[in-house]
Each structure stands twice: as C-alpha cells, then as structure tokens.
Amino acid sequence: MKPLDGAVALVTGAGSGVGRAIAVALGGLGATVVLVGRDAARLHETADEVEASGGQAPSRPTDLTHDEAVRGLAEDLRRKYRQLDILVHSAGLFARGEIAVAPITDFDTQYRTNLRAPFLLTQHTLPLLEACRGQIVFINSSAGITAGPGISQYAATKHGLKALADSLRAEVNSKGIRVLSVYLGRTATPMQEYVHRLEGREYHPQQLIQPNDVASTVTSALLTPYTAEVTDLYIRPMRKIT
Ligand SMILES: NC(=O)c1ccc[n+]([C@@H]2O[C@H](COP(=O)([O-])OP(=O)(O)OC[C@H]3O[C@@H](n4cnc5c(N)ncnc54)[C@H](OP(=O)(O)O)[C@@H]3O)[C@@H](O)[C@H]2O)c1
C-alpha cells in the first residue's frame, strides 16, 4: 500500500523540470497523475518515467493560456475521476528585460501563463478539490518575494501568484483544502539553462537546486498529517549566485 494510492493529482508543466520531477514523485507514491503541458511528446516521456515506477500518468496536452482548454480540462477530470486530491501549478515562463525596453507582449504572455492560468484552473477545479479535502501547490520563485533589476514582469507575476495563494488559503482552509507556496531559487531545469544563457553565464546544473530535491520536499509537505499545514517553503541553492 502506497501513501497516495487512490489519489488523483494534476501537475501542470509536467513535461520538464520541476513539474516532471513532482509528477514522477507523486506517481511513485501511488497517485494517478494527470500530466499537463503543451508539448505532447515531452508529456509522454514523463508518463514513461511514472509508469516505470509502477504509477499511472495520463497525458493531457493543454495550452493553459486558452480559457476553453482549461475549462475542458476541468470538465474531463470531473467526468473521468470525480475527484482531485492534489493540484500542482508548475507551468511557467520567464522573460528578461529592463522596464525601459521590455516588450509589453512579454508581460502579457508571462501574466497569462504564470498568474491568470493558475487562477482559472484553480477556479474550475475547486469543486473537485473540495470534495476530497484536496491540496494545491503553487511553484513560485524567490522573485515572488524580492524583485531585482531586469525581471520586473516575471517578478510581478510571481508576486501576484503569492497573493493568489495567500488569499485562496484564507478562503478554502475552512473547507479542508491546504495551500502551499514553494519559493524556489535557481533550479537545474531547461528554464534555468535559458536564464543562464540570457545572463551570459556558464551553466553548471550540478551547482543548483535539483528538481528531485524540490519534489521530495513538496511530497513530504503534502504527506504532513491534516492536523497541520505547510504554507510556505523557501528553497535556495547552497552555493549562492549573485
Ligand atoms: N528553474 C528555476 O530556477 C526556477 C526558479 C524559480 C521558480 N521557478 C518556477 O518553477 C516552475 C517550473 O519551471 P521549471 O524551472 O521546471 O521550467 P521548465 O522546465 O521550463 O518548465 C516549465 C513548464 O511550463 C510549461 N508551460 C509553459 N507555458 C505553458 C502553457 N501555456 N500551457 C501549459 N504549459 C506551459 C512548459 O511546457 P510546454 O512548453 O510543453 O507547454 C514547461 O514544461 C515555473 O513556474 C518557474 O517560474 C523555476
């Protein structure tokens, strides 16, 4: 018997990086994990990893910036499973640019992906989460707490995500739902490799937080007995880059 046998989880951004690692960890604990992202081939790679550890992971390719697609995803979950125990928002985008020059379209895309999509998906899945005293995880960033130069747009979406999670927690705790924000520092994923490229730095992934370590910290918080709630996790690489 595994701790999440019979549970249904949905992980966005499950085709790579942090989302993939969390999906594989949840599958290994017995959950059926619905994998969401745009790239079907990458979702299938994640599904193969989950299945190799004995779990089940149906892929559901979805562009989370399309409202109808988000509604359809929630409706499919309702019809197929009638429950949602764990919702993990890991999908995200990053763009750099000082305010003087950053294209407003970059802001729009990050807003739609990093903030609006988690709002809408949460809204549509809340009845399913309520039905089983579910848990919601927001993968946030150290930029959701402190904003440095060149990342105003990304940081604004992540500050917004903090507000969304805090407000949601205050609304749904009384219904038995737990809400966790995870504020990550630099983590070895395709997004961080891209950030290094933009910054003109050499990429040494072994010096950064590892996605599997994020996954084990998150699953440990999710398995905390229901007399307690882990609300916020701050994870930094041991070796700090300034
Ligand atoms: N890596 C870091 O250093 C770091 C630090 C702090 C916070 N974070 C946060 O951690 C989360 C995970 O990022 P990561 O580092 O694991 O990067 P990643 O490997 O690039 O993963 C991001 C995922 O988001 C998905 N995605 C993007 N736009 C989407 C859309 N419109 N609809 C559906 N899925 C979409 C991408 O899949 P598709 O392209 O297939 O859609 C991708 O799998 C993000 O929220 C990020 O902001 C990362």
Q: Does the Cβ of 19 fall within 6 Å of ligand 1?
A: yes
Mean pLDDT by runs of 10 across the 242 residues of the chain is 97 98 98 98 98 94 98 98 98 97 98 98 98 97 97 98 98 98 98 96 96 98 97 95 72
Residue 156 CB neighbours (<10 A): 18
Cβ(8)–Cβ(83) under 8 Å? yes
Q: Is 145 in the pocket of ligand 1 (CB under 6 A)?
A: no
* Active-site residue set: 154
- How distant, in Å, are the alpha carbons of 56, 102, 145, 208, 225 from that of 7? 11, 43, 32, 31, 15
pLDDT of residue 240: 82
237 CB-contact burial (10 Å; exposed 0-12 / middle 13-18 / buried 19+): middle
Cα–Cα dist 53/211, whole Å: 17
User: Which ligand 1 atom lies nearest to the CA of residue 64?
Assistant: 32
Distance 102 CA to ligand 1 centre (A): 20
Q: Is the CB of 189 under 6 A from ligand 1?
A: yes
59 lines ligand 1 (CB under 6 A): no
Tokens 């928002």 belong to: 89
8-state DSSP, 32 = E
Assigned token pair, 174: 């009384």
Task: Identify the residue whose tokens are 């429950």.
Answer: 83
Secondary structure, 3-state, 192-206: HHHHHHHHCCCCCHH
User: Model's pTM, two decimal places?
Assistant: 0.98
Tokens 């249904």 correspond to what residue? Answer: 8
Q: What is the pLDDT of residue 1?
A: 93
Ligand 1 test: best mutation among 11, 16, 214, most atoms within 8 Å of CB? Answer: 16
pLDDT for 54: 85
Quote the pLDDT of residue 110. 98
Which domains, from first to last, does the chain contain?
8-235 (3.40.50.720)
Q: What's the 13 CA to ligand 1 centre distance in angstroms?
A: 5
CA distances from 231 to 98, 109, 121, 186, 222 (A): 32, 28, 20, 21, 10
